Amino acid sequence: VSYQALARRWRPKTFAELTGQEHVVAALTGALDRGRLHHAYLLTGTRGIGKTTIARILAKSLNCLTNGVSSTPCGTCAACVDIDAGRFVDLLELDAASNTGIDNMREILDNARYAPTVGRYKVYLIDEVHMLSKAAFNSMLKTLEEPPEHVKFVLATTDPQKIPVTVLSRCLQFNLKPLPVAQIAARLTQILAAEKIESDAIAIDLIARAARGSLRDALSLLDQAIAHGGGSVREESVRAMLGAAAHDFVYRIADALVAGDGAALIAESDTLAANGWSPAAALDELAGLFYRIAVAQALPQAAAQFDDAARVTDYAAKLSREAVQLGYQIASQGREDLKLAPDEATGFAMTLLRLWAFEPASSEGSGEGTQRSAPPVAQALPRSAPGAKAQPAASNVATMRAAAAASPASTSVTTTREENAAKVALPADVTQWPQFVASLKLTGMAAQLAAQTEQKSLEGNVLTLKLAAAQKHLADRTYADKLKGALEAATGRKLLLAFEVGDATESSLAAQQDRARTKAKEEGERAFREEPFVRDLLSRFDATIKPDTITPIDGDKPR
């Protein structure tokens, strides 16, 4: 049995189960039960305090098949189950900060005006909404000015000041608050009791404090504490765990900065990843150390109050004031930027590299936060590429039919125009599907949809295509209709398209292109490794190559 993270297993599925944010819950449940929902909500607040969870519960409240629109979705109907599993096609979870294959946010927002595919309401959850492009904001504004009945927006941001006033004024805004220590501790106690894991109150309190208002961080620390403590959560072991992540670790980073040793910094970030420590907590500790050093530089006698006074005083002498100020800024900004990184380990490594790149080596330095000259290539290369998270595989396959059954008018036009062209048969087996898809006259998002599909079955005129859960936003009716039109034009037959949302697809055009790209890249890397100059660098600096950093100088560029 694979272990499921506590944060995931204990994600609240109803408003009643939600910890904290009582003002938001009261407003939403009241509005749902009176049938007077606003069409756009803006949730502000830091990470890990329930924005996505609230949006998912709202999506269930609006789309539940058993209980209708209410504040108490059943949790067992197809809509509720699919929303909980993250594969409901009418809940569009978009992250404006990351590029998770969503190339055209504007086009997705344009599609808000079309009816939902399977549900009663289309719910758009847009995280870090302040990072949307201007075009995407304008597109959203068009919908917000005349909101269709079937659309609800849940916008989330850590930085509401960056949202255009025109959008802001059309949203009902809620400020989500960091959870108090007592509330986090109570929730941890409840979960530990349910999991039948032995614990003591001080250990729980230590974890609740270290989480700094984020229940998600608290549960991830609790996971680590259970592993660290061999199945129980005790004060001594939690202290050791939090201490290990915090103190020794920050001193090694400070030592590496004083020595100007970039390779040691990268080694530290690898150690962190290997031990499963929380990058957020580590950056907090690092900012805390810079703060103590700054105090010691301004008021040397005040350093005596710190537990690590001797070390702090030593760093205060070795680092310039400007370097300490800059270090504090980079560490605290890096903490904020974690949520924008492809994954936390990468974000953490980048922050350490930024510290190294901008930090003067000693107090005799220029005193400015000037950038170092380019590092010797092999030395700065990480020992391992962080990240590369596996896609969570949907355990079940959700089928949604009738996506493209509607709008016969548009397809008949296409068919007429293409009538004289030569017709081809649908591929006989899945291996020919990518080639067939490549030959279709499709552009934009419809082409992306086609490229991500795998041919599953053809029964009568029902063509079933498989689509990875991560790409389900492409199965919008607009794109599905375009794909259907192109398929009908090419084959000269009427088709009904059905989509199965499930595991990653292997036999899609996109997967085939990925494999070709990987192969070309591997060949390039092999050639690179065999270069005498590179081999010399590798042996002299005891370095390894980070494959992602190898790019061809001319010819095809990787995407």
- 77 vs 361 by CB, closer to Zn ion: 77
DSSP bridge pairs for 94: 126
Task: Single out the segment in contact with Zn ion by CB under 5 A; choices: 35-43, 58-66, 94-102, 549-557.
Answer: 58-66
Whole-number minimum distance, CB 231 to Zn ion, in Å? 36
Distance CA 297, CA 300 (A): 6
Neighbours of 251 (CB within 10 A): 16
Whole-number minimum distance, CB 91 to Zn ion, in Å? 13
Closest CA to 184 of 6, 370, 413: 6
- 91 vs 179 by CB, closer to Zn ion: 91
Does position 74 interact with Zn ion (CB under 5 A)? The reply is: yes
Token reading at 265: 């910094």
Question: 125 to each of 51, 58, 88, 283, how far by Cα in Å?
Answer: 9, 10, 12, 28
Computed over its alpha carbons, how large is the radius of gyration of the chain?
A: 27
Task: Single out the segment in contact with Zn ion by CB under 5 A; choices: 5-13, 69-77, 188-196, 383-391.
Answer: 69-77
Whole-number minimum distance, CB 14 to Zn ion, in Å? 11
**Contact with Zn ion (CB under 5 A) among 64, 245, 437, 501:** 64
Q: What is the DSSP string of 249-274?
A: HHHHHHHHHHHT-HHHHHHHHHHHHH
Neighbours of 134 (CB within 10 A): 9
Does position 73 interact with Zn ion (CB under 5 A)? The reply is: yes
Token reading at 147: 């909101």
**Contact with Zn ion (CB under 5 A) among 66, 70, 183, 232:** 66
Does position 80 interact with Zn ion (CB under 5 A)? The reply is: yes
Question: 16 to each of 12, 22, 85, 486, how far by Cα in Å?
Answer: 8, 10, 19, 47
Does position 50 interact with Zn ion (CB under 5 A)? The reply is: no
Contact letters for Zn ion, residues 137-166 (x by CB under 5 A): ------------------------------
Distance CA 43, CA 93 (A): 14
For residue 388, the SS3 value is coil
Report how many residues bind Zn ion under the rule CB under 5 A.
Answer: 6
Q: What is the DSSP string of 92-109?
A: EEEETTS-SS---HHHHH
Whole-number minimum distance, CB 155 to Zn ion, in Å? 24
- 17 vs 522 by CB, closer to Zn ion: 17
Task: Single out the segment in contact with Zn ion by CB under 5 A; choices: 62-70, 145-153, 378-386, 484-492.
Answer: 62-70
What region, left, alpha or beta, does residue 39 occupy, with left being phi > 0 and alpha being psi -120 to 50 degrees?
A: alpha
- 73 vs 360 by CB, closer to Zn ion: 73
Does position 70 interact with Zn ion (CB under 5 A)? The reply is: no
**Contact with Zn ion (CB under 5 A) among 69, 77, 191, 426:** 77
Task: Single out the segment in contact with Zn ion by CB under 5 A; choices: 74-82, 202-210, 407-415, 478-486.
Answer: 74-82
- Residues near Zn ion (CB under 5 A): 64, 66, 73-74, 77, 80
